[in-house]
Amino acid sequence: MSFHQDRIGIALSGGGYRATAFHLGTLKKLEQLGILSRVNVISTISGGSITGACYCSRKGDFDAFYQDLYSGLQTKNVIKRILLSWMGLRFLVFLLLFIGSGYFLFTSYAWLFPIAIVLLLLVLLKFQFQLFPISKRIEQIYDEFFYQHFMLGQLPDQPTLVIGSTNLQTAKPFSFSKDWMQDSTYQYMDDPIKFKPAKYPLARAVMASSCVPFAFTPVTIDKEFFDDEAEAGKVHPVLVDGGVYDNQGIHKVMQSGQYNCGIVITSDAGCGSSGEMSFKNTFSLLMETVNVFMSRIKKSQMVRNVYDNASTVNKQVAYFSLGWDTENCISGFITNLDKQQITRFVIDAHQLKPEWVAAPRKYETEITTYLKNRLGYDAIPKPTPEEKKIARSVSTNLTALSKQEVDCLIKQAEALTELQVKLYCPSLFQ
């Protein structure tokens, strides 16, 4: 067995607090199954980075981690804290100036109204990031809520936490971990640029990973974190949400390299489109456009890393999404078997009969009954239709969730995690 084949990797997708809560359920179930302590790599994106970083910064006390994050999701409102800060006050003043300029319309100086509007817009366009450094404020809030001045260098050796962001300067992923902070473009330059992760704030790495384009200020790397501070003048990383490049976090653990794993569990907090949409402003249109880009990336990754896995990399890959129904997991497995998208190892581990493998549709009833008994399907607690509806209705922002919303997200994640891991990663139970 090669170096990577028995290594276990977890990928936690983006999706704001919804993802944070969903992945909390994933980690809870993996802890109950005795798998979490054996994990080698946790690759995280955006909302998944909040969960992964909280877990790794509290490694060794799962119950304390779980209770802190469980209650934090219900009480720690990032957006509210921003609005109640000095930056929120500045935004309010700017908004009042914008609205107040309408006063000129009711005077003999009505001609000043368009001039005032243009001037205010020019100020906003030129100095937006200086006037409203939202990412810096969110970093402070993350640190206060979750990380308490924790640095990358304080992370445990196992699991390796790798936090993903996207570098707009190079159009490549920029990764943060305990001993590694890098972009492959810089790594393979004739004169490689190196960074110092040891004292880099964990909250800032999570902020870079969750820096939604159009909404938050891009994150830059201060010169003190360059191995050679003089090199800070040569390259200028501009970091935004890791989901722009890889919205599932699966890229790191599937590709060859230091994070490569032979057993991959991918927890995806996406749940697809809710149907009809309405756009009331340019910002909402831009945000939905970004979502389309990320969805396209996700589908491409699923084809390459999940569905084509049996004929290419031949790993054990358990993938599940918030939008999936537990009732369809076994039928989905049979569909993949019919399409020859199940690896020979998994087929043999489940001891599937040769005739079943040759004609899955013909023996679908027998295979379903067999797998349900093998997995203990009936004993797995499953969310009700109403609980699934509540979980999927949760938005992807950073406002506090209700206890019911958190519980529904966790319950959905737990059921899907147990089913999919038992189906697609059987070696973990041998």
Task: Specify the pLDDT at position 393.
Answer: 94
Token look-up 């640029």 returns 193
Task: Specify the pLDDT at position 295.
Answer: 62
Q: Which residues of the chain have pLDDT under 70?
A: 1-4, 272-313
Give tens-digit pLDDT for 183-233.
Answer: 999 999 999 999 999 999 999 999 999 998 777 889 999 999 999 999 999
Q: How many CB atoms lie within 10 A of CB 373?
A: 10
Task: Specify the pLDDT at position 3.
Answer: 42
Element (H, E) at 24: helix 16-32
- CA–CA separation, 430 and 428 (whole Å): 6
Task: Specify the pLDDT at position 379.
Answer: 96
Task: Specify the pLDDT at position 1.
Answer: 37
Task: Specify the pLDDT at position 2.
Answer: 44
HEC string of 153-200? HHCCCCCEEEEEEEECCCCEEEEECCCCEEEHHHHCCCCCCCECCCCC
Q: By the 8 A CB rule, do 210 and 50 touch?
A: yes
